[in-house]
């Protein structure tokens, strides 16, 4: 933390460091809580959670068997954590790590090329291939860049490239010109006039490389001013590459917001964008109020207002309460041969219909005879291929019976969204009609909000649902 607390001159910034100690943990906890509410993961979560997942030997072994060839490109940007994750699935694969160890720009994010290279060499004794022929640059440019590396890392460069580098291009290249300028306007004017003097009319072959988006924008503003003063035939056509990035276009972001909200009904950030762009009669003040801490503490989310049942009943959990009162609530779960909903098959399906006081009214629990092997999933459900063939029933008969059992009910379960997807897929593959149900509540995302509400009846009901029959659906 101390190493990261620096000012613009990369000097230790005491106030920033002290501030992090004061508000850092609280801000981080709030951020994680908001992210959890969106059912989202950020870049760090994707890495850290995979690290936790691969610490389970059976998971790491499963994935190590899946890949015969593994290639890590731009390995100089790989952090020690990322390398540790990937190394757990190397297994007996054919491995290739490639990159330029002098090019790393992600040390601030934990990349240490020397450490990764040393670990890889010690653990696997790889064959080392040094690419000393360059197909992109002329010899003039290659000599300049290589001389720079020799000045910066003399020992490492001489050890890696004892014979130097060779450009394959037949063009030797023009001499490099260095130009010093007092300020940006002078620099922009010089570049503009130099391009005008080039022996070409196809300006799409001319490119200005920079190191900063901010510099690009400032330079393009200078070019526009110079173009206004130039005659028509001397005016340079130019384009800022950053201006045409597809996913930064407003209309593309709008479409993605609708798609993300359709897939994840808890995506508050996408809904806020949609409301700000297209909503009528609701402004920033109303959105800020609904997304405030008081509303969240009461279990109310902005996405409740676009839920059809919540809009009808005025409460996102009223349907759940009504279905329990009407004894039309079915808790269900499945076990399968794997996690691919498009190909794997259900091998066990269980459900219970609850009475209004949370007791078991009806019970459904049957085992299916699959056509696919269970593979590594046997570690989860403990049912072998042989046992399923002798104890399992015809899948068509069992799934049709379950659809009859749960027809027109409100469904609830943990990660029930996955269970419904694989059930729907399995029914389609058997040419059976889909399960008809009113709606579903997923304890992975819905019930934590109920449990945080102060209303006694809702809290009691949800606890009974969660703890009523743990052995049946385990």
Tell which CATH classification among 1.10.10.10, 3.40.50.300, 3.30.2270.10, 3.30.420.10 matches the domain 314-467.
Answer: 3.30.420.10
Question: Is residue 236 scored above 70 in pLDDT?
Answer: yes
**Which pLDDT band, with edges at 50, 70 and 90, does 462 fall under?**
very low
d(CA 236, CA 239): 10
Cα angle: 70, vertex 73, 78; to 5 degrees: 100
Question: Is residue 295 scored above 70 in pLDDT?
Answer: yes
More confident residue, 188 or 216: 188
**Which pLDDT band, with edges at 50, 70 and 90, does 242 fall under?**
low
Domain locations along the chain: 41-124, 135-167, 184-244, 252-306, 314-467
Average pLDDT estimate for 71-82: 91
Q: Residues in the chain, how many?
A: 474
Look at residues 49, 58, 134, 139 and name the one whose alpha carbon lies nearest to residue 100: 134
**Which pLDDT band, with edges at 50, 70 and 90, does 468 fall under?**
very low
**Can you state the angle between helices 416-429 and 395-406, rounded to 10 degrees?**
130
Q: Are 67 and 101 in contact (CB under 8 A)?
A: no
Average pLDDT estimate for 457-470: 31
Classify strands 69-72 and 94-97 as parallel, antiparallel or unpaired: parallel
Contacts of 193 (CB under 8 A, 6+ apart): none
* CB neighbour burial string for 292-305, b if at least 16 within 10 angstroms, e if fewer: eeeebeebbbbbbe
Q: Which tokens sit at 119? A: 């670990």
d(CA 5, CA 15): 9
Structure confidence at residue 442 (pLDDT): 86
d(CA 107, CA 114): 11
CATH number of 41-124: 3.40.50.300
């Amino acid at each position: 933390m101390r190493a990261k607390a620096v000012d613009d001159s990369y000097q230790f910034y005491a106030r920033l460091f002290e501030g992090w100690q004061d508000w850092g943990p609280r801000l981080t906890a709030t951020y994680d809580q908001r992210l959890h509410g969106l059912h989202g993961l950020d870049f760090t979560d994707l890495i850290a959670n995979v690290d936790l997942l691969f610490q389970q030997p059976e998971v790491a072994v499963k994935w190590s068997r899946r890949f015969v060839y593994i290639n890590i490109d731009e390995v100089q940007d790989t952090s020690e954590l990322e390398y540790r994750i990937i190394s757990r699935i190397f297994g007996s694969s054919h491995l290739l790590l490639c990159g330029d160890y002098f090019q790393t720009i992600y040390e601030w994010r934990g990349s240490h090329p020397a450490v990764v290279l040393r670990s890889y060499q010690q653990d696997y004794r790889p064959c080392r291939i040094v690419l000393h022929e360059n197909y992109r640059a002329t010899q003039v440019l290659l000599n300049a860049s290589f001389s720079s590396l020799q000045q910066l890392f003399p020992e490492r460069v001489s050890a890696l490239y004892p014979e130097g580098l060779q450009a394959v291009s037949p063009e030797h290249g023009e001499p490099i010109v260095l130009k010093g300028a007092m300020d940006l306007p002078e620099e922009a004017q010089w570049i503009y006039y130099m391009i005008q003097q080039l022996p070409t009319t196809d300006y799409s072959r001319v490119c200005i490389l920079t190191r900063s988006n901010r510099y690009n924008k400032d330079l393009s503003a200078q070019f526009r001013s110079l173009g206004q003063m130039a005659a028509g035939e001397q005016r340079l056509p130019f384009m800022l590459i950053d201006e045409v990035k597809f996913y930064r276009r407003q209309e593309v972001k709008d479409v993605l917001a609708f798609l993300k909200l359709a897939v994840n009904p808890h995506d508050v950030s996408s809904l806020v964008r949609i409301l700000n762009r297209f909503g009528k009669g609701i402004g920033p003040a109303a959105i800020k109020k609904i997304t405030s801490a008081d509303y969240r503490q009461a279990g109310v989310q902005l996405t409740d207002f676009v839920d059809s049942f919540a809009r009808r009943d005025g409460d996102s959990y009223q349907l759940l309460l009504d279905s329990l009162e009407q004894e039309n609530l079915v808790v269900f779960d499945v076990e399968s041969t794997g996690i691919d909903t498009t190909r794997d098959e259900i091998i066990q399906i269980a459900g219970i219909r609850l009475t209004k006081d949370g007791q078991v009214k009806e019970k459904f629990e049957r085992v299916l005879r699959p056509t696919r092997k269970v593979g590594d999933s046997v570690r989860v459900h403990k049912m072998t291929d042989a046992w399923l063939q002798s104890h399992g029933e015809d899948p068509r008969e069992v799934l049709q019976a379950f659809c009859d059992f749960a027809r027109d009910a409100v469904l609830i379960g943990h990660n029930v969204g996955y269970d419904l997807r694989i059930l729907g897929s399995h029914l389609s593959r058997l040419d059976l009609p889909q399960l008809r149900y009113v709606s579903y509540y997923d304890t992975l995302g819905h019930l934590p909000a109920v449990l945080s509400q102060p209303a006694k009846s809702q809290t009691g009901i949800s606890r009974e649902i969660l703890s009523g029959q743990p052995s049946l659906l385990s």
